[in-house]
């Protein structure tokens, strides 16, 4: 999934989207298991995150938490920078 699509889904507020790459035991609610794993990776239970499945895998969106863990791969930091192409086009339009 592209960073632009992720921003379209999660919005332009400051935040991060991680892909969950770990496994989920068969008898466990995936959202509960991933949330608990995210809290463990963050080193605190004071987290604010949304866990969702988009069909291609489990994603975690968070505004305030950063993790560095093998089970969570950072996909994108939001908001994305504004495209520089627009600025170049504006300059070209102003040039005779």
The gap from C-alpha 15 to its chain's centroid, in whole angstroms, comes to: 7
> What does pLDDT average to over the chain?
91
Q: Determine the Cα–Cα distance for residues 61 and 64; give it in Å rounded to an integer.
A: 10
Cα separation, 1 vs 29, whole angstroms: 24
- Model confidence over 65-88: pLDDT tens digits? 999 999 999 999 999 998 776 555
Rounded Cα distance, 61 and 7, in Å: 11
Q: What is the pLDDT of residue 3?
A: 95
The structural domains of the chain, with segments of one domain joined by +, span 3-94
pTM over 0.75: yes
Query: Tokens 């069909």 identify what position?
Result: 55
Question: What backbone phi and psi angles, to 5 degrees, belong to 76?
Answer: -160, 145
For 13-36, how does the pLDDT look when each residue is reduced to its tens digit (9 = 90+)?
999 999 999 999 999 999 999 999
């Amino acid at each position: 999934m592209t960073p632009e699509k992720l921003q379209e889904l999660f919005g332009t507020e400051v935040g991060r989207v991680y892909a969950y790459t770990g496994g989920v035991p068969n008898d466990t609610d995936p959202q509960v298991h991933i949330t608990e794993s995210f809290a463990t990776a963050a080193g605190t239970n004071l987290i604010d995150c949304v866990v969702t499945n988009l069909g291609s895998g489990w994603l975690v969106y968070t505004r305030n938490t950063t993790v560095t863990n093998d089970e969570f791969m950072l996909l994108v930091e939001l908001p994305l920078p504004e495209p520089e192409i627009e600025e170049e086009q504006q300059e070209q339009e102003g040039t005779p």
